[in-house]
A and B are shown apart, each in its own frame.
Chain A
Amino acid sequence: MDMSAATRMEAERSAPVTAQGLPAKVVARDVNVFYGEKHALKHVDVDIPDRGVTAFIGPSGCGKSTFLRCINRMNDTIASCKVTGKITIDNRDIYDPSLDVVQLRARVGMVFQKPNPFPKSIFDNVAYGPKIHGLARTKSELEAIVTASLEKAGLWSEVKDRLGDSGTGLSGGQQQRLCIARAIAVNPDVILMDEPCSALDPIATAKVETLIDELRANYCIIIVTHSMQQAARVSQRTAFFHLGTLVEEGPTERIFSTPRDQRTQDYITGRTG
């Protein structure tokens, strides 16, 4: 065995690996979230693989969005919120005080329930992130990033002739794909999606789901969804949250065919628990 192979194997051994043998991108250990006195998220341990889609499901108020917001430290913006435990991305502790939160949020993009394009042109919506992070030195580099991002988001052919038009003038589905283009323009590793299709019609939903399926080859995607069918369609792994705890996590096929926990079964089949 040559030296580099041995070194590589050593590195692989020390890196967290998910049950499927995929390298874990995001690793959470004993994560707790408190909103004032309320213990909103309890002792969450999970390994989220790279280059795949992980779905977070669970009833409203179960903690899934709270946990999602821990991964790019969005909860920092809430004064009463306290997060304990450890979350790493690529083995780096994201709650390390020396870490630049702005840089973190560039690496961990987020797409929200309601499309929220800036009241700017389509071009500027996508160019905004690369500009503030200094990713483009010249105008043509910036144009290249905008074009590539819109192409990856499957929106390029629909907007290429009207890049100067306002982003808010697009249809709901187009706006959501614009937000995805905006998220990927800054070269993130992780994309968080909080119910990205709940405000979209079935056609726009199908387009966003197709996009998610394409993006998973290059990104670690985590999606919160209330649609069981959507979780089953787009994700490879599913985590079920209930009353602030992570009840069960595993391959999506298994979770939706033979869940192990009664609470998971009751929730996904629409039973009273």
Chain B
Amino acid sequence: MNDHIVKSYDAEFKELDRLTAHMGGLAEKLLADAFAALERRDPNLAAATIASDKSIDTLELQVQERAILMIAKRQPIANDLRHIMTVLKITSDLERIGDLAKNIAKRALAVSGEAHPKPLMNGLRHMTELAMRQLKDALDALSSRDAGKAREVWHRDAGLDALYNSVFRELLTYMMEDPRNIGLCTHLLFGAKNIERIGDHTTNIAENVLYLVDGVAMTEERPKGDDTSSMVMSARTS
């Protein structure tokens, strides 16, 4: 891509991209820390994670202010306008990802006193790992303007949904086996749901990268794998 004739315009775009990348990095760390706090039952890490969500919110506001100023000053069109609009949408997804991760950290605080049977965390760990990989790839696709990579992320979200289904079943089974598990499992279920939602926001980011690169809005139906809303399990009576 050629440079703008007005050099300061390019500098503004660079700054916008730098802030977005910084937000992305913070969102990744927040998710990793939130899960670590949950798995290790570490209230200090959980509290620090909750506090660090504020930096993401602050960055989002900074991006928003700069983007509005750029629109007013430069009256961007074509790929420049797409660039600014996608950054606005992507940072709003990153802000939501931060919120959802913070929510996981809050649950880590709530369950920090309870004993976790180890296998209970396996499903959630897999989900977190997949969500982390998705987020990393989506952010890489953004920084390298890689439509192919964004498309891969978009297709892989169904895998995270499928994992969520199995975690959902698994946690329900634990609850049915022993009612003393219900408190903990409910928190973990919400945690799993939050990770699944993080996957959806990551897919939004991938869609926005595709729009940024190709200039065509993604209209294909997303591959969906989350069936938990229609899942029914009855407790065994025997």
Contacts and interface: CB of A to CB of B under 8 A. Distances in A.
B3 A269 contact: no
A228 B77 contact: yes
B215 interface: yes
Contacts of A257: 77-78, 81-82, 215
A228 B6 CA distance: 16
B15 interface: no
B4 interface: yes
Contacts of B77: 228, 232, 256-257, 268-269
A259 interface: yes
Given A258-B215, A258-B216, A272 B78 contact: no
B232 interface: no
B115 interface: no
A269 B215 contact: no
Interface in B35-92: 75-82
B132 to A, nearest CB: 33
Contacts, number: 40
Nearest to B81: A257
Interface residues of A, number: 15
Nearest to A273: B2
A13 interface: no
A149 to B, nearest CB: 34
A270 B78 contact: no
A265 B6 contact: no
B3 A272 contact: yes
B80 A269 contact: yes
B215 A271 contact: no
A266 B4 CA distance: 8
B235 interface: no
Nearest to B74: A270
A170 B9 CA distance: 39
A229 interface: yes
Interface of B: 1-6, 9, 75-82, 215-216
19 contacts: A232-B77, A256-B77, A256-B78, A259-B78, A265-B78, A268-B78, A269-B76, A269-B77, A269-B79, A269-B80, A270-B6, A271-B2, A271-B3, A271-B4, A271-B5, A272-B2, A272-B3, A272-B4, A273-B2
